[in-house]
A and B are shown apart, each in its own frame.
Chain A
Amino acid sequence: MRPLATALGLVAAWEALVWFTGLPPYILPPPSRVAVVLAERFDLLLEQAVWTASEMLLGLALGLVLGATLAVIFAASAAWRRWALPLVIVSQAIPVIAIAPLLVLWLGYGMASKVAMAALIIFFPVVSSLYDGLRRTDPGWLELAHTMNAPPRAVLLQIRLPAALPAFASGVRIAAAVAPIGAVIGEWVGASAGLGFLMTQSLARGQTPLAFAALTILCLLGLALYTAADRLARRLVPWQSHQGD
């Protein structure tokens, strides 16, 4: 509850700052004003929030599936590792944000370009976390499997993959934290709906309080997504907190 008290203190300080400096609301609206707009335009905000949340979730799902698949392929096949792994690592040098306009050009103003953006941005943390986990299996387990004459496929699926779940879980947490960035940047570049779109629109029209209201919802969405991912990650590895004792 202490972080909540800190947050409330900061909001109060913000309100006081606007009050004493007399800044106009189109530069910095006070929290009280943002709250009023939040209540008045709730229907609009909710509609846009559902849109953005869908983009985030679809992007997250797509990125997780693609990333996890590629990580497993890399772990299973030396040829793939040799031919494609360096490419995946080098691709990180390209700022994903810089190709957002291209994605909008190719996939249009609709949801697809934002989903692709979110998927692209989480792809790397997912691949690298799971692949790392797959490579760092306890050698004792692998030796045990070897003395049991286990086929390589069974070792991958029944030992290396579950053993990599803790590492994958941290990848999922990071992915949940950055997926909103992908969706919102996609909306800034070019969109016809969503919270990011609403922000750019209202800022352009001097409706700064509405932009702040959209931002507030966006923060709550990100927080909810992260919390959900964290819960899921914990459920995925119930033994993790007990490891090493």
Chain B
Amino acid sequence: MRSAHIVLDGHVVAEDLSLDFAGGRTTCLLGRSGVGKTSLLRHLAGLLPGTESAGPVAYMAQRDLLLPWLSVLDNVLLGYRLRRNRAEHRAAEPRARALLAEVGLGDRLQDLPHTLSGGMRQRAALARTLCEDRRIVLMDEPFGHLDAVTRLDLQDLAAHLLEGRTVVMVTHDPLEALRLGHEIRVLSGRPFTVGPVIAPPGAVPRDPGDAALLALQARLIGELRRQA
């Protein structure tokens, strides 16, 4: 991303911002609520007025956004349904089934979303995001409103499934950033600036009990707190 200006409702969220994201790796953007993380992600996705996405991206929002009238399987294939390309749709179906099996929903293919729990719905949304099969994946606090244990499970699953893709994930949870990010960058200020790259050691998903990780978490929390 080069020289981006992000404006939201007349307020400058970020000026002249240039950012590089490591290809095939996961970058976590960490910041407090209201700093402009979501705006940055929406800018990248081409969802802000006057912006265009950098290329084909898959976008996963805070809410699961499953369509209540479509089965779980059809929800995962939503992109193909909307683009109305029958050949691609047929070709993608086995992959959708495989993805749903991987996220543990292999036996709920024909169920409607309202019959699923919050964690299951978010897993279905993850499967939909991956089924789009785009090289760049943008995620906006995808596990933000799940209970702590479900969140850890989903982080493990996501780290495994997102391997090899260029992922930009926005989060306000330092532990989540430390578990999933090959690189972490802290957003702060108004208009916000992006801090230097923090690359925690070890492969993702990292163990939440690891001593080095907990020390880094304390450091990140301190950094976020100073911005009050």
- Residues of A with Cβ closer than 8 Å to B? 138, 140-141, 143-151, 154-155, 158-159, 162-163, 165, 237-239, 242-243, 245
Contacts and interface: CB of A to CB of B under 8 A. Distances in A.
A165 B69 CA distance: 10
Contacts of A165: 69
A143 B59 contact: yes
B141 interface: no
Contacts of A239: 68-69, 112-114
Given A143-B61, A144-B59, A243 B84 contact: no
B68 A149 contact: no
B67 interface: yes
Q: How big is the B interface, by class? A: 20 to 34
B8 interface: no
Given A140-B65, A239-B114, A242-B68, A147 B82 contact: no
Interface string B26-57: 00000000000000001001110000010011
A144 B65 contact: yes
B14 to A, nearest CB: 20
A244 B13 CA distance: 31
Interface of B: 42, 45-47, 53, 56-59, 61, 63, 65, 67-69, 78-79, 81-84, 112-114, 132
B58 A147 contact: yes
B84 A144 contact: no
Contact of A146 (B47, B68, B69): B47
Nearest to B132: A148
A243 B68 CA distance: 8
B45 A145 contact: no
Contacts of A140: 61, 63, 65
A243 B79 CA distance: 23
24 contacts: A138-B65, A141-B67, A143-B59, A143-B61, A144-B61, A144-B65, A146-B46, A147-B45, A147-B57, A148-B83, A150-B82, A151-B83, A154-B82, A154-B84, A159-B67, A159-B82, A162-B69, A237-B69, A239-B69, A239-B112, A239-B113, A239-B114, A243-B68, A243-B114
Contacts of B57: 147
Contacts of A148: 78-79, 82-83, 132
Given A147-B47, A147-B53, A141 B65 contact: yes
Contacts of B112: 238-239
A242 B47 contact: no
B128 to A, nearest CB: 9
Nearest to B112: A239
Contact of A154 (B45, B47, B63, B83): B83
The listed residue with most B CB atoms (<10 A of its CB), out of A145, A151, A155, A163, is A145
A150 B46 contact: no
A238 B59 CA distance: 28
A151 B45 contact: no
Nearest to B64: A140
Contacts of A154: 81-84
Nearest to A238: B112
Contacts of B59: 143-144, 147
Contacts of B68: 239, 242-243
The listed residue with most A CB atoms (<10 A of its CB), out of B56, B57, B84, is B84
B106 to A, nearest CB: 22
Q: Which A-B residue pairs are the 6 nearest by beta carbons? A: A150-B82, A242-B114, A239-B68, A148-B79, A147-B59, A154-B82
Given A149-B56, A239-B112, A239-B114, A143 B47 contact: yes
